[in-house]
Amino acid sequence: GESVGLHLPTLSVQEGDNSIINCAYSNSASDYFIWYKQESGKGPQFIIDIRSNMDKRQGQRVTVLLNKTVKHLSLQIAATQPGDSAVYFCAENTGGFKTIFGAGTRLFVKA
Amino acid sequence: NAGVTQTPKFQVLKTGQSMTLQCAQDMNHEYMSWYRQDPGMGLRLIHYSVGAGITDQGEVPNGYNVSRSTTEDFPLRLLSAAPSQTSVYFCASRGSHQETQYFGPGTRLLVL
């Protein structure tokens, strides 16, 4: 069935290191993918997105990679900072109003 | 712009009580939706609306009603609260030509 999953429920990194958060999806028809950041007590906040006709997209300190062959999505955060500590969700749009969210990965940044 | 706002922030209900969770957006977005978030699970769609007067069911609609009388407001009603409805509820909106959703701060609901 359709699912968006995350390989690791928690990730702990040292401040200044790079973080990589992974996500697997199963619907090959999905054409749009989004990463959200959710801080404690707040709603999800858009970070970066990518369409299925791309394999890489860069933002400020963040990069999303899409590997359609193995249905894998990753979020890379460069020079991770304490303010990056949050839960990160991947999501896929399968068309229309249907967005499937992953369960989330909690990122801890150690000072 | 205030973006997407939700009230209340917290609510405790007894089983069988009813209540309405409020959601409003000031971005003139056509699309609005309600999600619930439970521990260890992704956001699940309850109901959504593609414009004033139009609503439809999402993945987990049972026990919830919605209406969309204006573009700005999209209230979620719990008719008879059950402990299984203990969750964090998020409202989101987006423009009809956008795919990115903007989320409100959430309402934490505890049903005893």
What tens digit of pLDDT does each residue of A12-26 get? 999 999 999 999 987
The 3-class secondary structure across chain B, one letter per residue, is: CCCEEEECCEEEECCCCCEEEEEEECCCCCEEEEEEECCCCCCEEEEEEEECCEEEECCCCCCEEECCCCCCECCEEECCCCHHHCEEEEEEEECCCCCCCEECCCEEEEEC
Interchain CB distance below 8 Å, B100 and A49: yes
Contacts of B33 in chain A (CB under 8 A): 97
Q: How many Cβ contacts (< 8 angstroms) between chains A and B?
A: 47
What is the pLDDT, as a whole number, of residue A4?
53
Report the 10 Å Cβ neighbour count for B12: 12
Query: CA B14, CA B47: separation in Å to the nearest integer?
Result: 23
> Which residues 6+ apart lie within 8 Å of A9 measured at CB?
A103, A104, A105, A106
Q: CA of B9: which chain A residue's CA is closest? A: A41
Q: What is the distance between the alpha carbons of residues A24 and B5, in angstroms, rounded to a whole number? A: 32
B99 contacts A49? CB cut-off 8 A: yes
Show the tokens assigned to A2: 């359709």
Mean pLDDT for chain B? 94
Of B40, B50, B90, the CB nearest to A43: B90
Q: How far apart are CA B85 and CA B63, in angstroms?
A: 8
Question: Residues of chain A with pLDDT > 90: what percent?
Answer: 69
The proportion of chain B whose per-residue pLDDT surpasses 70, expressed as a percent, equals 100
Q: Which chain A residues have a beta carbon less than 8 Å from that of B106?
A: 41-43
A7 has pLDDT over 50 = no
Put simply, the answer to whether B103 touches A43 (Cβ < 8 Å) is: yes
Return d(Cα A1, Cα A4) in angstroms, integer: 10
Sign of CA dihedral B77, B79, B85, B86: positive
End-to-end Cα distance, chain B: 36
Note the pLDDT tens digit of each residue in A24-44: 987 888 889 999 999 988 999
Mutation test of the interface with chain A: which of B6, B21, B43, B59, choosing the one with the most A Cβ atoms within 10 A?
B43
